């Protein structure tokens, strides 16, 4: 079998499309060699060797040794050197390279092949003894650290101590003799640490480094990184062995990194940094301040150090041409690493550059406008999830950060304000025009008003699908959840973190993009939707078939969603309208009422409020479809808890606290999510559904009059499992429609449909469709009921499930296409069979998840509905699914 692929001297055995076999770095090195670009010769040991290695008790394939040695000989022929020669030694770098770039992997080892003898040869052949020993001490440090496992600090300490004793400040102050002395001290120290000398045989060094690369595939950092980025273990990593070129050979040598365009803004200008007389990662290591590549960037940065354009003008021109060639060839922005050895340019790496969402948009749109890529390609180039970054304020990256603690990045964007510990306080302060961050151990439905009032939410418990996380994402509010290192003491009104105690009213900033919690009010950058955003979304909209609606019940959310391009409301959760301060009183009266008459009296108080809400929503949505769901949650969610609260509420509504307590106890359920909720409420208390239906239809009449446009409400019945259930509730709605038609003297146009969120409903969809004009898949509950996993309690074990690869990802974040997805497919098919023009959509968290949107498009649904801030994500994902 072939385990080794060579490259160099204008040819290569690999190509850029062989990333699976050669890893990203190896495939692109081969491609650059094939393009005739200056690449030091070398070879790639394939990812299959890595797989073999782990399948066979950490043994290499038997042919590997010969193939590596043959490849080394070829490198030697091209460079005119020879590995382990004592006269003209070939030195190499050993670099890891997986399919996807992986920061958890082994660091690169440079200058391999140096030992006490070859270093003298290098000194002689280069005519630069200082350079030779500088290279040797770098090699010893890297190799000892990466392969032998000796801490970097050990070497730093020796160097610092030496510099101090000699009165040196910078590394450049050391001459050849100094580095020679450093090398001696390093070796002594390694001897002490390892009880063995530093390996002198270049072949031992080489196999040691190769083994370390393969070994690093299974180190903890790499395993964690793979898990976080869903990279399968079976991919393996490749190893690249490449002839060294030296950027540390004096003033005409250098090393640098560059992008063909600006990776944070996307501006079409060469952008990067370099360092004269330096090697490897000196540029990123921050040892010296790097210099700009272009003169324009130098001037913009106000730097007094010459740019590459003036310091090495010929190399600069050559590099510029190479950069242009690479971008044209790969048809995308490139991220490049290069080294200059005595005035000669060498390319060491290229890849499609990582970029901010803003840059991704600009690069995609500009490349399409220039005709370099098609519009479809541009649409495919932008990661839909990344659009979130563009829609929220972010912390000024230049601002200093005092991090108090870190939690989960539960909902993007940054927010700052004074801390409060209760939702009532949050609402009260907001009413005074103050900005607050709501800090809770965890949140519950009773905190909705506080969450609404707050700029952002911080919880110390709970995961990515905790109440706080889901609701905050829905509201488009920044949220950091599960910040375990932060202590909240409600009684004392304090928050303790990082050795600091903050009181109510003290300032914090949360960064929902990183999960960081910062002390004080950090400076923000407001989001700005660029022209490129609009352009790309136009291209996307022209391509997609799937409609995108929003989940919204407040006018503010509905308006936001419209500006983000929502094509209607797919889910208006009426209960959210009940938590408001004046309404909750009437709701509680309704729940406490002894009989139907009592309930009706309380409901009558709610009617005008609900009607006004709907009128406003209909007006904002200007004739677009609006789906309103009847009351869904268990009633006890509206009742107060604890003696104090009960007493206060009893007084407020003039009820006996005893009775209130009894009723609360009566409504308490062991399993509320499978309890007295959804259409079951309407079955037992039809008057609730009737009041809501009346509010909807009356609002439709009023809004149509006001706007002069017809309003066609969609009334949605939740948690249905049988057709009979739906029929019963439907009859009440239809009755009410007739009544309102009579009263108003207007003909109503409306639709009645149902949520499909129980497995039985999905299976019996053929039946149910006879009574339902539309289905909306409530994928949150459908996931919950299909798996039998309570979404409120899943955090305790879901992490282990994803960590142990039982679930590829959290099924509450991205639809489980195999199981839940099959139910959706079955329901869609059976529903359509009964009613060919049935309208199908999904609502719930999944509506804004790109993979789930793709699934919906594939399944032929008509629309997805998601929270306002995710509307652009869904639009783009829907377009990508259609291309
Ligand atoms: P990473 O994957 O962390 O970027 P690389 O394998 O690209 O690691 O190596 C890091 C740096 O080491 C390169 O950018 C380059 O500066 C230097 N380097 C690697 N191989 C060589 C080489 N053959 N000659 C000179 N420098 C090299
Ligand atoms: Mg690295
Ligand atoms: Mg690199």
Region 54-72: mean pLDDT is 97
pLDDT of res. 92: 98
**Under a CB-based contact definition with an 8 Å cutoff, are residues 387 and 357 in contact?**
yes
Under DSSP, the state recorded for 667 is H
**For ligand 1, mutation pick of 40, 79, 339 (most atoms within 8 Å of CB):** 339
Does the beta carbon of 47 sit less than 6 angstroms from any atom of ligand 1?
no
CA trace torsion 415, 417, 421, 422 (10° rounding): -80
The total domain count for the chain is 5
Task: Specify the pTM.
Answer: 0.82
**Under a CB-based contact definition with an 8 Å cutoff, are residues 113 and 94 in contact?**
no
Q: Is 757 marked as a binding-site residue?
A: yes
Q: How far is the CA of 870 from the centre of ligand 3 (A)?
A: 34
Q: How many angstroms separate the Cα of 216 from the Cα of each of 96, 280, 881? A: 9, 20, 36
In the structure, what pLDDT confidence band is assigned to residue 469 with cuts at 50, 70 and 90? confident
In the structure, what pLDDT confidence band is assigned to residue 284 with cuts at 50, 70 and 90? low
Percent of all residues in the chain with a pLDDT value above 70, rounded to a whole number: 99
143-152, 617-626, 662-671: which has the minimum mean pLDDT? 662-671
pLDDT of res. 582: 75
| Domain contains 11 | yes
Q: Which domain holds residue 630?
A: 544-634+669-882
Q: How far is the CA of 42 from the centre of ligand 1 (A)?
A: 13
**Alpha-carbon distance 463 to 856, whole Å?**
26
Q: How many angstroms separate the Cα of 26 from the Cα of each of 2, 41, 50, 130, 147? A: 15, 11, 14, 32, 21
What's the pLDDT tens digit per position in 522-541? 998 877 777 899 999 999 99
pLDDT of res. 286: 62
Q: Which residue, judged by its Cα, is nearest atom 7 of ligand 1?
A: 349
DSSP notation for 557-569: HHHHHHHTT--SE
What CATH number is attached to the domain comprising 426?
3.50.30.10
Statement to judge: residues 110 and 122 lie in one domain = no
Statement to judge: residues 167 and 58 lie in one domain = no
The kind and range of the H/E element at 223 are: helix 220-228
Statement to judge: residues 219 and 196 lie in one domain = no
Does the beta carbon of 278 sit less than 6 angstroms from any atom of ligand 1?
no
Of the bound ligands, which one is closest to the alpha carbon of residue 339? 1
In the structure, what pLDDT confidence band is assigned to residue 461 with cuts at 50, 70 and 90? confident
**Alpha-carbon distance 450 to 417, whole Å?**
14
How many Cα atoms sit within 13 Å of 96 on the Cβ side? 26
What CATH number is attached to the domain comprising 239?
3.30.1490.20
- Does residue 680 surpass a pLDDT of 90? yes
Give the highest mean pLDDT range of 176-185, 226-235, 262-271, 662-671.
Answer: 176-185
Sign of CA dihedral 611, 614, 620, 625: negative
Statement to judge: residues 106 and 133 lie in one domain = no
Q: How many angstroms separate the Cα of 90 from the Cα of each of 44, 139, 608? A: 17, 14, 86
Largest Cα separation within the chain, whole Å, is 104
Statement to judge: residues 477 and 415 lie in one domain = yes
Sign of CA dihedral 816, 819, 825, 830: negative
**Alpha-carbon distance 484 to 778, whole Å?**
31
Statement to judge: residues 438 and 309 lie in one domain = no
In the structure, what pLDDT confidence band is assigned to residue 790 with cuts at 50, 70 and 90? confident
Write out the two tokens for 325: 């060639």
Residue 243 Cα: closest atom of ligand 1: 23
Does the beta carbon of 281 sit less than 6 angstroms from any atom of ligand 1?
yes
| Domain contains 519 | yes
Region 2-10: mean pLDDT is 97
- Nearest Cα to 215, choosing from 314, 127, 105? 105
- Does residue 499 surpass a pLDDT of 80? yes
3-state SS, residue 752: strand
pLDDT of res. 372: 95
What CATH number is attached to the domain comprising 265?
3.30.470.20
- Does residue 597 surpass a pLDDT of 70? yes
pLDDT of res. 808: 82
3-state SS, residue 491: coil
In the structure, what pLDDT confidence band is assigned to residue 332 with cuts at 50, 70 and 90? very high
Q: How many angstroms separate the Cα of 739 from the Cα of each of 690, 725, 742, 833? A: 11, 22, 5, 33
What CATH number is attached to the domain comprising 166?
1.20.80.30
Neighbours of 712 (CB within 10 A): 16
**For ligand 1, mutation pick of 110, 217, 247, 346 (most atoms within 8 Å of CB):** 110
**Alpha-carbon distance 729 to 752, whole Å?**
10
What's the pLDDT tens digit per position in 769-778? 999 999 999 9
Does the beta carbon of 111 sit less than 6 angstroms from any atom of ligand 1?
no
**Residue 552, Cβ density class (10 Å: 0-12 exposed, 13-18 middle, ≥19 buried):** buried
Statement to judge: residues 555 and 424 lie in one domain = no
Of the bound ligands, which one is closest to the alpha carbon of residue 97? 1
- Does residue 805 surpass a pLDDT of 90? no
What's the pLDDT tens digit per position in 539-593? 999 999 999 999 999 898 899 999 999 999 999 999 888 877 778 888 988 988 8
Statement to judge: residues 626 and 758 lie in one domain = yes
Q: Is 781 marked as a binding-site residue?
A: yes
| Domain contains 61 | yes
**Residue 344, Cβ density class (10 Å: 0-12 exposed, 13-18 middle, ≥19 buried):** middle
**Alpha-carbon distance 873 to 623, whole Å?**
23
What's the pLDDT tens digit per position in 475-485? 778 999 888 88
Write out the two tokens for 338: 């290069």
Does the beta carbon of 550 sit less than 6 angstroms from any atom of ligand 1?
no
Phi, psi of 664 (to 5 degrees): -60, -40
| Domain contains 339 | yes
Sort strands 254-259 and 334-341 into parallel, antiparallel or unpaired: antiparallel
Q: Which residue, judged by its Cα, is nearest atom 26 of ligand 1?
A: 280
In the structure, what pLDDT confidence band is assigned to residue 330 with cuts at 50, 70 and 90? very high
Higher pLDDT among residues 397 and 838, named by residue: 838
- Nearest Cα to 441, choosing from 417, 456, 458? 458
Q: Is 780 marked as a binding-site residue?
A: yes
Q: How far is the CA of 148 from the centre of ligand 2 (A)?
A: 17
Question: Which of 479, 843, 856, 866 is the catalytic position?
Answer: 843
Higher pLDDT among residues 229 and 620, named by residue: 620
**For ligand 1, mutation pick of 40, 81, 93, 206 (most atoms within 8 Å of CB):** 93
pLDDT of res. 465: 64
The domain boundary, picked from 470, 490, 525, lies at 525
How far does CA 285 lie from the centroid of its chain? 26
Higher pLDDT among residues 848 and 264, named by residue: 848
636 as an active site residue: the answer is no
Does the beta carbon of 336 sit less than 6 angstroms from any atom of ligand 1?
no
Q: Which residue, judged by its Cα, is nearest atom 18 of ligand 1?
A: 280
467 as an active site residue: the answer is yes
Residue 101 Cα: closest atom of ligand 1: 2
Of the bound ligands, which one is closest to the alpha carbon of residue 337? 1
- Determine if residue 333 is left, alpha or beta; phi over 0 gives left, psi from -120 to 50 gives alpha, anything else beta: beta
End-to-end CA distance of the chain: 39
Higher pLDDT among residues 364 and 358, named by residue: 364
| Mean pLDDT of all residues belonging to the chain | 92
Statement to judge: residues 802 and 775 lie in one domain = yes
pLDDT of res. 101: 81
pLDDT of res. 739: 98
**Under a CB-based contact definition with an 8 Å cutoff, are residues 784 and 810 in contact?**
no
Q: How far is the CA of 209 from the centre of ligand 2 (A)?
A: 15
Give the highest mean pLDDT range of 94-103, 224-233, 788-797, 835-844.
Answer: 835-844
Strand spans (E) along 17-121: 42-45, 82-83, 89-90, 92-98, 109-112
pLDDT of res. 287: 65
- Determine if residue 426 is left, alpha or beta; phi over 0 gives left, psi from -120 to 50 gives alpha, anything else beta: alpha
What CATH number is attached to the domain comprising 602?
3.20.20.60
Does the beta carbon of 40 sit less than 6 angstroms from any atom of ligand 1?
yes
| Domain contains 184 | yes
**For ligand 1, mutation pick of 337, 344, 351 (most atoms within 8 Å of CB):** 337
In the structure, what pLDDT confidence band is assigned to residue 222 with cuts at 50, 70 and 90? confident
Residue 280 Cα: closest atom of ligand 1: 16
| Domain contains 479 | yes
What's the pLDDT tens digit per position in 682-731? 999 999 999 999 999 999 999 999 999 999 999 999 999 999 999 999 99
Q: How far is the CA of 877 from the centre of ligand 1 (A)?
A: 36
Region 653-670: mean pLDDT is 84
Statement to judge: residues 284 and 348 lie in one domain = yes
| Domain contains 383 | no
pLDDT of res. 810: 85
Statement to judge: residues 578 and 591 lie in one domain = yes
Statement to judge: residues 677 and 743 lie in one domain = yes
Does the beta carbon of 481 sit less than 6 angstroms from any atom of ligand 1?
no
Q: Tell me how long the chain is.
A: 883
Angle at 42 between CA 37 and CA 47, to 5 degrees: 110
**Alpha-carbon distance 162 to 178, whole Å?**
9
pLDDT of res. 285: 65
The domain boundary, picked from 167, 183, 200, lies at 200
| Domain contains 382 | no
The domain boundary, picked from 355, 377, 410, lies at 355
Angle at 577 between CA 574 and CA 578, to 5 degrees: 100
Question: Which of 392, 449, 452, 467 is the catalytic position?
Answer: 467
Residues 6+ apart with CB under 8 A from 768: 720, 722, 723, 726, 754, 756, 761, 775, 831
**233-265 CB burial, b ≥16 within 10 A, e <16:** eebbbbbbbbbbbbbbbbeebbbbbbbbbbbeb
- Does residue 447 surpass a pLDDT of 90? no
Q: Is 573 marked as a binding-site residue?
A: yes
Query: For tokens 């006001």, what's the residue?
Result: 706
């Amino acid at each position: 079998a072939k385990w080794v692929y060579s490259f160099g001297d204008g040819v290569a055995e690999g190509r850029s499309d062989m990333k699976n076999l050669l890893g990203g770095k190896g495939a692109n090195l081969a491609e650059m060699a094939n393009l005739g670009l200056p690449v030091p010769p070398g070879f790639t040991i394939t990812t299959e060797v890595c797989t073999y290695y782990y399948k066979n008790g950490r043994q290499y394939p038997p042919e590997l040794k010969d193939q590596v040695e043959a490849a080394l000989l070829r490198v030697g022929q091209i460079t005119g050197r020879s590995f382990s020669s004592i006269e003209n030694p070939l030195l190499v770098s050993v670099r890891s390279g997986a399919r996807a770039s992986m920061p958890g992997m082994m660091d690169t080892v440079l200058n391999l092949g140096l030992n006490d003898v070859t270093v003298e040869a290098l000194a002689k052949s280069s005519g630069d003894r200082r350079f030779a020993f500088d290279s040797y001490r770098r090699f010893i440090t890297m190799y000892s650290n990466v392969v032998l496992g000796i801490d970097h600090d050990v070497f730093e300490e020796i160097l610092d101590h030496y510099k101090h004793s000699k009165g040196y400040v910078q590394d450049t102050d050391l001459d050849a003799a100094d580095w020679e002395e450093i090398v001696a001290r390093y070796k002594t120290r390694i001897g002490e640490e390892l009880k063995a000398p530093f390996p002198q045989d270049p072949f031992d060094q080489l196999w040691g480094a190769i083994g370390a690369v393969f070994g690093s595939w299974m180190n903890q950092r790499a395993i964690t990184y793979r898990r976080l980025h869903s990279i399968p273990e079976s991919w393996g990593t490749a190893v690249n062995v490449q002839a060294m070129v030296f950027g540390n050979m004096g003033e005409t040598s250098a090393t640098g990194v560059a992008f063909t365009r600006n990776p944070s803004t996307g501006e079409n200008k060469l952008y990067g940094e370099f360092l004269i007389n330096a090697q490897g990662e000196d540029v990123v290591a921050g040892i010296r301040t790097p210099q700009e590549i272009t003169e324009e960037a130098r001037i913009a940065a106000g730097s007094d150090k010459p740019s590459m354009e003036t310091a090495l003008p010929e190399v600069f021109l050559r590099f510029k041409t190479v950069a242009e060639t690479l971008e044209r060839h790969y048809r995308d922005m490139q991220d490049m690493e290069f080294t200059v050895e005595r005035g000669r340019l060498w390319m060491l790496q290229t890849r499609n550059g990582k970029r901010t969402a803003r840059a991704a948009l600009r690069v995609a749109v500009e490349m399409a406008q220039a005709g370099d890529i098609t519009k479809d390609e541009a649409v495919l180039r932008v990661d839909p999830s990344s659009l979130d970054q563009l829609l929220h304020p972010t912390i000024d990256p230049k601002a200093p950060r005092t991090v108090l603690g870190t939690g989960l990045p539960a909902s993007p964007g940054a927010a700052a304000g004074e801390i409060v510990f209760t939702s009532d306080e949050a609402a009260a302060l907001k009413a005074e025009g103050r900005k607050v961050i709501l800090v809770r151990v965890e949140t519950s439905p009773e905190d909705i008003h506080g969450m609404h009032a707050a700029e952002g939410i911080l919880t110390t418990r709970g995961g990515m699908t905790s109440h706080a996380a889901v609701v905050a994402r829905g509201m488009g509010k920044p949220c950091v959840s599960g910040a375990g290192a932060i202590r909240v003491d409600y009684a004392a009104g304090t928050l303790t973190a990082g050795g600091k105690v903050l009181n109510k009213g003290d300032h914090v900033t949360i960064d929902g993009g990183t999960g960081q919690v910062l002390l004080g009010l950090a400076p923000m950058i407001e989001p700005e939707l660029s022209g490129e955003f609009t352009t790309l979304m136009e291209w996307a909209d022209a391509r997609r078939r799937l409609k995108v609606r929003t989940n919204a019940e407040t006018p503010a959310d509905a308006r936001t969603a419209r500006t983000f391009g929502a094509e209607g409301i797919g889910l208006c959760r009426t209960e959210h309208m009940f938590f408001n301060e004046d309404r909750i009183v009437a709701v509680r009266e309704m729940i406490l009422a002894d009989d139907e008459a009592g309930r009706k009296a309380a409901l009558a108080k709610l009617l005008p409020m609900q009607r006004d809400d709907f009128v406003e929503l209909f007006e904002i949505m200007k004739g677009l479809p609006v789906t309103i769901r009847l009351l869904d949650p268990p009633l006890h969610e509206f009742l107060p808890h604890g003696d104090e609260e009960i007493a206060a509420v009893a007084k407020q509504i003039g009820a006996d606290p005893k009775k209130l307590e009894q009723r609360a106890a009566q409504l308490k359920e062991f399993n509320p999510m499978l309890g007295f909720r959804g259409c079951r409420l309407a079955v037992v208390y039809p008057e609730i559904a009737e009041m809501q239906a009346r509010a909807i239809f009356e609002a439709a009449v009023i809004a149509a009059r006001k706007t002069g446009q017809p309003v066609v409400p969609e009334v949605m019945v939740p948690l249905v499992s049988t057709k009979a259930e739906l029929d019963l509730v439907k009859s009440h709605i239809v009755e009410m429609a007739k009544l309102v038609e009579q009263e108003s003297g207007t003909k109503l146009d409306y639709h009645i449909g149902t949520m499909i969120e129980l497995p039985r409903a999905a299976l019996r969809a053929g039946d149910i469709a006879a009574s339902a004009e539309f289905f909306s898949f409530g994928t949150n509950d459908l996931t919950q009921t299909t798996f039998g996993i309570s979404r409120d309690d899943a955090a305790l074990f879901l992490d282990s499930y994803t960590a142990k690869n039982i679930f590829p990802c959290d099924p509450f974040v991205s639809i489980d296409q195999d199981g839940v997805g099959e139910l959706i497919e079955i329901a869609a098919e059976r529903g359509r069979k009964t009613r060919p023009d049935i309208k199908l959509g999904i609502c719930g968290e999944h509506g804004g998840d790109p993979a789930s949107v793709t699934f919906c498009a594939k399944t032929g649904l008509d629309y997805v509905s998601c929270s306002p801030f995710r509307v652009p994500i869904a639009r783009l994902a829907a377009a990508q699914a259609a291309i």
